[in-house]
Structure 1
């Protein structure tokens, strides 16, 4: 479909209608409606179906990082990437879904598949020395970690964190050293600077807690938010009265800071649909009393100093919101690390959240009325405001307009272009609310859409952020956000585009050309599974239905087929409301097994997918069969929440281990491969056993027909007498948003030899649904020797 991104997308089906009738297995059954996919499931299926559009290589693996709900029912599902087991810096991406499981757009900065050696030439200690030379007053250098940078076909580099001080303040400098040449490729400081006025908010109410007769400056309604001195602990007192309203009093500074972040928190919820500072209901501590005319965010807390004349603390509303704006930037996809250009966009983000918070608080003139200047009432160095969003060039060296020199500017100067764009988008060139006139770079006139809508579009762009982040990528992301947040309206899209053009940011590759939106459709398969012998065909009806807006053109494709198999659609495309016949031709000699074929319906406004389970060479009552002799798409740590440090689940040929009793079995039930927790043996029995907690592995999607369904699998759990009932082997069924445990074996303080057993589970309650199996093993208490294995997973219908 024509997308506002660099490549086509797919999405999850909202429902699947099941009735068995294929060319090779034609028994008819009842119909059932599957539960809607969660945003994460819809995004996962897109990742599985279209690795090519994600610029994936055969050595890539993807890990879902988070799924965050936003304004307008949109969901932002972020992923990280590894290459040959190494983290990929710049390989992350974000999938945006609508409430019904349709994928709307994807934000990815990587331009080509990786193909790079992962064997370094520069020794680790040399990389540490090179990185140390980039710091000033260095107190610690962390151990270099190999990573792959997504630059061209890839660059192998060491990431080193150099801790210390720089220009009188804390520094956590991330340095990337080329692992082949020793060149410093990139560096960025985790500590983000910010400056502002010592303005006070007057008598206000703040959130505090009471324990016995002691009160604390800890906000009970905003987890993680507290305020205190440089030691990091919250101020306490015998009563709930704080500060004395003077500019030098640190309790007063905390009153201002707590009030400001409280307003910012409320603004994020009411205006932008964000849950807390970090997006998941959490915040961060505040420190005051920094002996410097500055304020900063260091990656885990905010820290506020004083004005240069030491007459007031730097905790006015816009400065506090600016520093917590860095926290928002860090906790949206793509983090805060990256290029100098990204650093400038980070600084601008702080300024924008400062303005949004001031407008939300809407204080009267005697305090801090809404405006779009930064630190406008502080006389930090005798020069007035630090930055002007309506005309950044009022501060020398801060450009109004984008040019080729902007990406390399010092970050505070580089903030000007995005600040100017936000001013034009929210206020326009000639505001009528008392804000100043804002000249454009092309002489155009821009009509503002108001700061609340502008903030929603900017937040929508931040939710699409990647590790690589540029002005052009923000432009593309904000245009996508404008379309998806305000369907059926072109005013917001047109204003967003006009404001970017007015500050000379050029169009990005793949950005949306028009504001068309609001059209949607559903996708069904009938049937959703089939059994075929090699040399035969399976057919299914692919149905579409317009669910909102106007009908749209939909084209079809399929992925996940057995090697050599082909899929055709007749017709190849329809107008939503029409149907097509899918024919899968399986060549002679195709290996037996179950294959999850993902059918993609590529629309002009939204994409959807559904899973067709194709079982080759099995009896007609077999719905799914995996002997693990070929890879069918099981994924380790699919949710990104596993904690095990060794012995993680993998598919392979296991090596036998023993310690007085058999532990890891070196034989499988059939063939040579199975699922096993750490297939290698090592020099001792415990070298590759499960350690550190949970390891999990998740099956591909399995579309279940109606009828009586039975899961059978071969399994074992082995351990020594240092195990306990906290250790376990479990099988779960994932369906929609639910996860149900269907089988469990607990550990015990006794020797348990590895021995293949069979588990049988009735899955009839899931008939007509698309599910996944999740297998878990944990060494969950004190360290113990735990091994597990699985083979021959079969689901049958009777």
Structure 2
């Protein structure tokens, strides 16, 4: 099989942690990216009740993530008395103009906890080490606060090794007073197997260095494929594999081809740049001598089938493992409770289905479907999961209940898989897909897999360290509302699909077709002498009825300056007058004042650029 070579030089970007700050007074009027960070920072520094701030809290803004529909997601991490807070992270969602749309916060109360441990770091390390049967290394225990109630002091320890022969990188949280194991989760996600077959001749990018070719994809930095030593396969020509199910070069052909299709799908359908969101990928290894495939946290590893006749490198399996990479590289990462691991496992299945549907191979190869592992028959018993009806396999749940969170992730994944199928295809698809019985006997019309994928990606971009089915429900409703603001269908379908799998509603979640409004300032910029006064008109328009109550206030005022609204409480569609009074000692410069309009359903922000002269 002859492979065409595609060479390209791609430069990556570096993520830098930035402390929360307000733009300096002398700054020029901010460009759109600056407006986004400035608006998010203003919200955070005002410490609204939704953040559950304490006097000892501090926040650090992470890299802003651009998403579909002009939305931007700004994650923040939290410290308490200088200690990292696990579960204290949150995401601020803004539109392209920098208006704050919503926040995704898991923490439920302000922290108030002693930071003096009763257990030494060495004791915590030994307790964590006992959680693996084979230990290669143990990280230095890190004293942290877990956002549980008013806070729990813990040590976070990373234990690397193996558990019952399976590689493991286990995050263990040890109570710093009692020594109890509070929580543990594994970065290494056990995966699935599937066919290697993508046709007799496929093309994918490789590298040519002085006549030596290697299975390294230069167009997708970080991506390559080789054996268990981690080195990409190489050769004197650019022809790879022989089409055999046992040939490892062929396994890399299928892996790189699937990576190529998944990368294209992420870009074309979900507006995401690579697996990490920064235009980078991760390497793959084949030839694992196990009936398995898994994601390690830094690369994907693929084994074989039980009969040893095929490698586990077909499109949905490869996309499943790299789906874990996407999950790990969205806010909130992939460390957490068992329920979070269940949602991670389901996310792999969802990305596998999305990639198959994007590739849209003919029936003779691997046509798009919602089965997991159907081609390879990895253990001799057919697919390992069915998304349309998980209970097709005994013990796999169609519906959420209290028994789901402690389940094995490969089994509990059925609930979110079922939700995604209903969201994409509905309960009785007209496309010829199998019917999907709902747990509440409802009838649902699907949105199509591309739109369902967009909503799911928007959900992951709101993910926090503490993550469960109800938080995913709330985040997906916000994603649907903000990605498709001119329509009610998406929000209603998302809610109906969650109801259909019996994931309970969350207090404060988006309801029905949300009423929204817009706010503008006329003029949006003004000049005033120190000690003087200036006014601007605040106008609101109800964009989706009915009208709602709005409270007005301003933040980001320079020292010695006050702001007043007449009136301060209005109904959308009405107006107000903002009067800014500067002090005689107000320093000359340009300031960006956030006019906040807090509505009963949504919040909006407009920016007044105020220039103060001497």
TM-score computed with the length of structure 2 as normaliser: 0.89
1:229 correspondence with 2:227: yes
Q: Distance in 2 between matches of 1:166 and 1:529?
A: 68
Choose from 166, 175, 192 the match for 1:169.
166
Q: Distance in 1 between matches of 2:108 and 2:287?
A: 46
The CA deviation string for residues 358-388 of structure 1, in whole angstroms up to 9 with x for no partner, is 0000001111000001011122111110101
Q: 1:33/1:295 Cα in 2 relative to 1: closer, same or farther (>3 Å)? A: closer
Choose from 205, 208, 230 the match for 1:207.
205
Q: Distance in 2 between matches of 1:191 and 1:331?
A: 14
Between Structure 1 and Structure 2, the one with more helix by share is: 2
Q: Distance in 2 between matches of 1:479 and 1:230?
A: 42
Question: What is the CA distance between 1:522 and its match in structure 2?
Answer: 2.6
Q: 1:462/1:520 Cα in 2 relative to 1: closer, same or farther (>3 Å)? A: same
Question: What is the CA distance between 1:598 and its match in structure 2?
Answer: 5.1
Number of residue pairs the alignment of both structures matches:
583
Q: Distance in 2 between matches of 1:152 and 1:609?
A: 35
> 5 Å matches for 1:641-720?
705=611
Give the secondary structure class of the aligned counterpart of 2:91.
strand
Q: Distance in 2 between matches of 1:346 and 1:478?
A: 15
Contact 1:321 1:354 in 2 (8 A): yes
1:42 correspondence with 2:36: no
In structure 2, the residue matched to 1:455 is: 453
Give the secondary structure class of the aligned counterpart of 1:82.
strand
Question: What is the CA distance between 1:578 and its match in structure 2?
Answer: 2.1
Question: What is the CA distance between 1:33 and its match in structure 2?
Answer: 7.1
Question: What is the CA distance between 1:567 and its match in structure 2?
Answer: 5.8
Give the secondary structure class of the aligned counterpart of 1:481.
helix
Q: Distance in 2 between matches of 1:542 and 1:185?
A: 54
Q: Distance in 2 between matches of 1:562 and 1:432?
A: 60
Contact 2:291 2:305 in 1 (8 A): yes
Contact 1:457 1:485 in 2 (8 A): yes
Give the secondary structure class of the aligned counterpart of 1:81.
strand
Contact 2:530 2:586 in 1 (8 A): no
Q: Distance in 1 between matches of 2:230 and 2:516?
A: 49
Question: What is the CA distance between 1:125 and its match in structure 2?
Answer: 0.9
Choose from 126, 129, 138 the match for 1:129.
126
Q: 1:446/1:86 Cα in 2 relative to 1: closer, same or farther (>3 Å)? A: same
In structure 2, the residue matched to 1:541 is: 535
> 5 Å matches for 1:340-355?
340-355=338-353
Q: Distance in 2 between matches of 1:189 and 1:267?
A: 28
Q: Distance in 1 between matches of 2:346 and 2:467?
A: 13
Q: 1:528/1:501 Cα in 2 relative to 1: closer, same or farther (>3 Å)? A: farther
Q: Distance in 2 between matches of 1:243 and 1:517?
A: 57
Q: Distance in 2 between matches of 1:231 and 1:206?
A: 22
Give the secondary structure class of the aligned counterpart of 1:170.
strand
Give the number of the structure whose alpha-carbon radius of gyration is greater. 1
In structure 2, the residue matched to 1:682 is: none
Give the secondary structure class of the aligned counterpart of 1:66.
coil
Contact 2:592 2:610 in 1 (8 A): no
> 5 Å matches for 1:319-718?
319-516=317-514, 519-523=517-521, 527=526, 531=530, 540-546=534-540, 549=543, 553-559=549-555, 568-574=564-570, 575-576=572-573, 578-582=575-579, 599-603=595-599, 604-610=601-607, 705=611
The CA deviation string for residues 186-237 of structure 1, in whole angstroms up to 9 with x for no partner, is 0000101101213310121011010111011011211111001111111111
1:96 correspondence with 2:93: yes
Question: What is the CA distance between 1:46 and its match in structure 2?
Answer: 1.4
Q: Distance in 1 between matches of 2:57 and 2:527?
A: 29
Q: Which stretches in structure 2 are left out of the alignment for 5+ residues? A: 1-20
Q: Distance in 1 between matches of 2:105 and 2:517?
A: 24
The CA deviation string for residues 630-659 of structure 1, in whole angstroms up to 9 with x for no partner, is xxxxxxxxxxxxxxxxxxxxxxxxxxxxxx
Choose from 172, 175, 179 the match for 2:176.
179
Q: Distance in 2 between matches of 1:292 and 1:528?
A: 71
Question: What is the CA distance between 1:704 and its match in structure 2?
Answer: 5.6
Give the secondary structure class of the aligned counterpart of 1:705.
strand
CA RMSD in angstroms, aligned pairs only = 2.9
Q: Distance in 2 between matches of 1:332 and 1:528?
A: 42
TM-score computed with the length of structure 1 as normaliser: 0.69
Question: What is the CA distance between 1:124 and its match in structure 2?
Answer: 1.0
The CA deviation string for residues 408-435 of structure 1, in whole angstroms up to 9 with x for no partner, is 1111111110000000110111112222
The CA deviation string for residues 381-411 of structure 1, in whole angstroms up to 9 with x for no partner, is 1111010101111122211000111111111
Contact 2:530 2:587 in 1 (8 A): no
Q: Distance in 2 between matches of 1:154 and 1:541?
A: 45
Q: Distance in 2 between matches of 1:213 and 1:260?
A: 26
Q: Distance in 1 between matches of 2:113 and 2:528?
A: 39
Question: What is the CA distance between 1:525 and its match in structure 2?
Answer: 6.1
Q: Distance in 1 between matches of 2:184 and 2:580?
A: 53
Choose from 74, 77, 80 the match for 1:77.
74
Q: Distance in 2 between matches of 1:547 and 1:218?
A: 54
The CA deviation string for residues 568-625 of structure 1, in whole angstroms up to 9 with x for no partner, is 4320134456232346799xxx9999999754222454410547xxxxxxxxxxxxxx
Q: Distance in 1 between matches of 2:536 and 2:327?
A: 42
In structure 1, the residue matched to 2:10 is: none
Contact 2:398 2:414 in 1 (8 A): yes
Give the secondary structure class of the aligned counterpart of 1:496.
helix
Q: Distance in 2 between matches of 1:49 and 1:223?
A: 40
Contact 2:187 2:335 in 1 (8 A): yes
In structure 2, the residue matched to 1:306 is: 304
In structure 2, the residue matched to 1:116 is: 113
In structure 2, the residue matched to 1:255 is: 253
Give the secondary structure class of the aligned counterpart of 1:368.
coil
Question: What is the CA distance between 1:289 and its match in structure 2?
Answer: 0.7
Q: Distance in 2 between matches of 1:474 and 1:528?
A: 46
Question: What is the CA distance between 1:285 and its match in structure 2?
Answer: 0.4
Q: 1:528/1:345 Cα in 2 relative to 1: closer, same or farther (>3 Å)? A: farther
Contact 1:257 1:315 in 2 (8 A): yes
Q: 1:68/1:517 Cα in 2 relative to 1: closer, same or farther (>3 Å)? A: farther
Give the secondary structure class of the aligned counterpart of 1:406.
coil
Contact 1:198 1:306 in 2 (8 A): no
Q: Distance in 2 between matches of 1:339 and 1:593?
A: 52
1:158 correspondence with 2:152: no
Question: What is the CA distance between 1:48 and its match in structure 2?
Answer: 1.5
Question: What is the CA distance between 1:531 and its match in structure 2?
Answer: 4.2
Q: Distance in 1 between matches of 2:250 and 2:174?
A: 45
Q: 1:527/1:592 Cα in 2 relative to 1: closer, same or farther (>3 Å)? A: closer
Contact 1:45 1:609 in 2 (8 A): no
Choose from 58, 61, 66 the match for 2:63.
66
Q: Distance in 2 between matches of 1:496 and 1:85?
A: 39
In structure 1, the residue matched to 2:263 is: 265
Give the secondary structure class of the aligned counterpart of 2:405.
helix
In structure 2, the residue matched to 1:140 is: 137
- Using the TM superposition, name which of 70-79 and 520-529 deviates more: 520-529
Give the secondary structure class of the aligned counterpart of 1:138.
strand
